[in-house]
Amino acid sequence: MTKSRDSNTLQLSRRRFLGTTAAGVAAAALPALPALAQSKDLVVGNWGGDWNDRVVRAFEKPLLEDKGYKIVRELSQAPERKTKLVAEKRLPRGTLDIAHLTDADAYEMDQQEVLEKLDTSKMPNFKHVRENLRSPYFMPWVYGGVVILYNPKKISEPPTSFADLWNPKYAGRVGVIDQIYFNYIYLAALAAGGTLKDVKPGLEKLKQLKVDSKPRIYPAHQQLAAAFASEEIWISANYTARALQWENDGLPVKLAHPKEGAIAITFGVGIPRKARNKDAAYAYLDAMLDPGVMAEMAKVTYYAPAVDNATLTPELSKRIDFTPEQVSKLHFVDYPYAAKNSAAWLEWWNKEFKST
């Protein structure tokens, strides 16, 4: 599963994980924006909800805004953010200085030639990024994996497989969210005996989920958490970090690692080539890698940090880490395959899976 070390491939593999598009709108229709001359103004594209709240509290406010930076936040889901980046690549200047992305999103955007090749000399803290997680165009920040989430009061025996979401006895009690639609396609492929390099079996499997389990579909993580809290749903699949966060918040949620293996995910940032204020963007990236920020983000999000100098308590490290056996079963996204098919998958999800 190890990727080649060329400039277009994100460095991530089973061995490395813990050793450590949408089409664009016509660019001509968008107005060019003036460059920001050595200012501390930043436009940051990120996910919204409680994720953004934690990013602001643990990082952006204390390390940037309290020091004079003015951050404008454009909050959206990844497809909208990627569309904006592609649409603006022909402009003299774009509207985003920082783009929060997943590893697969970043590969796709690099293939579209919209991300800056990172100048690590402008980020003194970069030397602490785990070597085997580094990429020429994407700075990894935190990572985790997609597993099963369940209500232990309603499901006494922990689920053992992604296929448990298809169990008819959970009909009407299965929850999924639009925000990570691609992960349900991936896990359905695994449940059907497929791979992350061929999700066709998963698309048919998801059609069967509608029949067998009558899943409830929510927009984002916050609504899924509320559904677990009210016991409207009993079982879902989501990131390890979400399960641990919600359990810590008192929700009736536990996580179970599927026998098929979890689906690896890395979150980080890139700098658009047409960013207006690259100096401030590099300051943002370097501040992200501050060991105090990394430790705080691990504490409030339950994602593992991508640096080697974050000071975590032994208890927290144990909770967010994967065992060697779990690492050996991890599934990693095939970035070229995902980039080629992501727009079609989103269309299928909206037109086929969500349709009544």
Residue 135, classed as helix, strand or coil, is coil
d(CA 99, CA 138): 10
Predicted structure pTM score: 0.79
Give pLDDT, residue 323. Answer: 87
Which residues, at least 6 apart from 91, have a Cβ–Cβ distance to it below 8 Å?
Answer: 27, 30, 32, 33, 274
Residue 87 and residue 30 in contact, taking contact as beta carbons nearer than 8 Å: yes
Q: Which residues contact 73 (CB under 8 A, 6 or more apart)?
A: 43, 44, 46, 52
- The answer to whether 17 and 143 are in contact (CB under 8 A) is yes
- DSSP states along 267-333: EEEE-BTT-S-HHHHHHHHHHHT-HHHHHHHHHHH-PEESBS-----HHHHHHHSPPHHHHHT-B--
Whose structure tokens read 């952006």? 60
Cα–Cα separations (whole angstroms), residue 138 to 52, 107, 213, 231? 19, 8, 38, 38
**Token pair for residue 242?**
């979400």
CA distance 48 to 109: 20
Q: How far apart are CA 212 and CA 202, in angstroms?
A: 15
DSSP H or E segment with residue 337: helix 335-348
Contact criterion met (CB below 8 Å) for 205 and 193: no
pLDDT for 322 equals 86
Are 55 and 116 in contact, with CB atoms under 8 Å apart? Answer: no
Distance CA 205, CA 172 (A): 17
User: Quick one: how far is CA 33 from the chain centroid?
Assistant: 29
Q: What is the pLDDT of residues 279-334, one digit of tens each?
A: 999 999 999 999 999 999 999 889 989 999 998 988 998 888 888 899 899 999 99
- Please provide residue 318's backbone torsions phi and psi, each rounded to the nearest 5 degrees: -65, -40
65: which DSSP letter?
G
| All domains of the chain in start order, with CATH | 14-143+265-320 (3.40.190.10), 145-263+340-353 (3.40.190.10)
Structure-block tokens of residue 164? 């448990």
Using the 8-state DSSP alphabet, how is residue 233 labeled? Answer: -
Integer Cα distance of 130 and 9 in angstroms: 16
Q: What would the DSSP string read from start to end of 109-122?
A: HHHTT-BPPP-GGG
| Angle, in degrees to the nearest 10, between helices 291-301 and 240-248 | 70
In 3D space, the residue among 127, 192, 143 whose CA is nearest the CA of residue 163 turns out to be 192
What's the N-to-C CA distance of the chain in angstroms?
38
Give the residues of the chain that fall short of pLDDT 50. 1-37
| pLDDT on residue 19 | 46
236-264 pLDDT, tens digit per residue, is 999 999 999 999 999 999 999 999 999 99
pLDDT for residue 38: 56
In terms of DSSP bridges, do strands 41-46 and 98-102 run parallel, antiparallel, or are they unpaired? Answer: parallel
**How crowded is residue 146: how many other Cβ atoms within 10 Å of its Cβ?**
25
| 172 CB-contact burial (10 Å; exposed 0-12 / middle 13-18 / buried 19+) | exposed
